[in-house]
Amino acid sequence: MDPLSITVVGLVAAKLAEGFGGELGTRAAGALSDLVTRVKARISGDPEAEAAMSDIEAGDQAEEPRETVAEALSKALESDPELREQLSRLVGEVRGDPKAVSFVTHVSGDAQVGKIVTIGEVTGDVSF
């Protein structure tokens, strides 16, 4: 599955299910809303992806609906380089807001993960 589609769906799910975005700056919040709009438009006509998006909007935190939407989006990105560029730009705008990057950690499948640390700014040494 395309990493961009996973990132986009993670951001979209956070926006829809958790109301994320209210504390973002104007530019990042606008980019996040634009991501939601573009993803919904792109999966329109795919009943399975539309149903999964509805589940996400209803607050379903399961991995399956996200994977379904991400797979549909991955297929779209393969054939639409302009969409890929637009979504990449929008993700960059959202990630440019320090309040946005504090939650974008998605581990799925059979991943074996040790420590995950998100550090905004460090002065001095850090050790684990």
Q: Where are the domains of the chain?
A: 3-95
Per-residue confidence (pLDDT) for residue 21, from 0 to 100 = 53
Per-residue confidence (pLDDT) for residue 5, from 0 to 100 = 84
Per-residue confidence (pLDDT) for residue 80, from 0 to 100 = 92
Per-residue confidence (pLDDT) for residue 117, from 0 to 100 = 67
pTM of the model: 0.69
Q: What is the pLDDT of residues 67-98, one digit of tens each?
A: 999 999 999 999 999 999 998 998 888 887 77
Per-residue confidence (pLDDT) for residue 17, from 0 to 100 = 56
Cα-only R_g, the chain: 15
Q: What is the pLDDT of residues 13-67, one digit of tens each?
A: 877 755 555 566 777 778 888 888 999 999 999 999 999 999 988 888 888 999 9
Structure tokens at 80: 């639409």
Spatial CA neighbour of 65 closest among 12, 123, 3: 12
